[in-house]
Structure 1
Amino acid sequence: MLRKITGALVVAIGLISLHAPAASASPDVEVAAVRTLTYNASGAAEFKAAVDQGAQIWNSSVVNVRLVSTTSSSANIRVVADDGWPRAQTTSLGNGRVWMGRQATDQGYNAIRIAAHELGHILGQPDRKPGPCTSLMSGSSAGVSCTNPYPNAREKSEVEAAFSTAKLGVNAEWAYEFVD
């Protein structure tokens, strides 16, 4: 009787090992790495801290892209201060230049909101004017009293989608200038 049980166990274990999937060190679905963009705010003058905070806000709001400060002249994003109105000029998704214009802060607009808004353009976001204060990309149309520097669910979702697609190698060439 013991021989029959032992024999049955050997056969059963052999059958299980034939049908069991092989263990794999890597998952079936390959997860692409987070896209890292560098920004150089050394020319942002008095707005450097606001730019750093704007970048941190995007970093805490999305996972497919990360903004990292650098002093390299080959940064993806160059941020400078000037006396005009804030604006951004993109050369492609995740690349371009931001001007932190003093005209808006002189009128009372919040520098951190401006920085996050302009970085939003570099991340592929259009202006959404007029719009409520809950929309970061409503920009100045939300009024001077609006200090909300956080993207809303739609804005976050669109950036996630844009950089998810970009990680797959789909990166349409485009260039825009946003004058806020």
Structure 2
Amino acid sequence: MTITFVLGLAFLATVSPAQAGTAAKATSGNATAVRVLKYDASRAAEFRSAIDQAAQIWNSSVTNVRLVAGSPADFVVYADGGWPRTQPTSLGRGTIWMGRQATAEGHNPLRIAAHEIGHVLGLPDRRTGLCTDLMSGASAGTSCTNPNPNAAEKAEVNRNFRGFTPAVDFGRIYVDSPELAAQ
């Protein structure tokens, strides 16, 4: 019993606090460290709660990335009068603008927030028109309120954070407007 206790203490002494705080998940038999992304929604005005809820949706949907409010932020969220848009600058980093024009026309703020965060997580627009596809965006119409990524979108984000090349174009601004949704 004394040997077990001493070995336990030796193990704890060799693990740094940073290592102890890093979560690991088993994915297909391989341990993958969870990447924590901090976001700043302090300038998101009335959309702040939608951003926080969307972050929780992504947290419950994917296994190797976790979104937390904090600074320094990996991505920042603003509110403005235009259409919702995101400029991912690298995987997990960028700027989101929650546009009031979309909500004024009846689009769901939580779906918008989850969709825009999807761009930061490496997902491009896919204008399928299907409400089950989060990245279909405005092409699903104003009656669609689904804020949840589908199985393929979840798997793609998990792959992105395991080192695969994301399909999103970094540096490009993704604008989700009805005019673009019709294309």
Q: Place the TM-score, normalised by the shorter chain, in its bin.
A: 0.7 to 0.9
Give the equivalent residue in structure 2 for 1:53: 53
Matched, 1:44 2:44: yes
What CA deviation, in whole Å up to 9, does each residue of 1:9-48 have, x standing for no partner?
xxxxxxxxxxxxxxxx9xxx87232000000000000000
Give the equivalent residue in structure 1 for 2:107: 109
Alignment partner of 1:179 out of 170, 175, 181: 175
2:76 aligned partner, one-letter code: R
Gaps of at least 5 residues in structure 2 are: 1-10, 12-28, 177-183
Give the equivalent residue in structure 2 for 1:153: 151
Give the equivalent residue in structure 2 for 1:127: 125
Looking at structure 2, the residues matched to 101 and 163 of structure 1 have their Cα atoms a distance apart, in angstroms, of: 28
Looking at structure 2, the residues matched to 176 and 123 of structure 1 have their Cα atoms a distance apart, in angstroms, of: 14
Identity of aligned residues (%): 61
Cα pair distance change 1:42/1:128, threshold 3 Å: same
Looking at structure 1, the residues matched to 115 and 147 of structure 2 have their Cα atoms a distance apart, in angstroms, of: 7
Give the equivalent residue in structure 1 for 2:95: 97
Gaps of at least 5 residues in structure 1 are: 1-24
1:57 aligned partner, one-letter code: I
Looking at structure 1, the residues matched to 89 and 136 of structure 2 have their Cα atoms a distance apart, in angstroms, of: 22
Looking at structure 2, the residues matched to 92 and 176 of structure 1 have their Cα atoms a distance apart, in angstroms, of: 11
Looking at structure 1, the residues matched to 41 and 47 of structure 2 have their Cα atoms a distance apart, in angstroms, of: 8
- The aligned runs of 1:60-99 (5 Å cut-off) are 60-70=60-70, 72=71, 74-99=72-97
Partner SS for 2:162: helix
Looking at structure 1, the residues matched to 30 and 151 of structure 2 have their Cα atoms a distance apart, in angstroms, of: 26
2:63 aligned partner, one-letter code: V
Looking at structure 1, the residues matched to 48 and 63 of structure 2 have their Cα atoms a distance apart, in angstroms, of: 23
Partner SS for 1:150: coil
Partner SS for 2:37: strand
What's the CA shift for 1:130?
3.1
Q: RMSD between aligned alpha carbons?
A: 2.0
Partner SS for 1:38: strand
What CA deviation, in whole Å up to 9, does each residue of 1:139-165 have, x standing for no partner?
000000000000001100100000011
- Asked if the contact 2:122/2:166 (under 8 Å) is kept, the reply is no
- Asked if the contact 2:87/2:170 (under 8 Å) is kept, the reply is no
Looking at structure 1, the residues matched to 163 and 30 of structure 2 have their Cα atoms a distance apart, in angstroms, of: 14
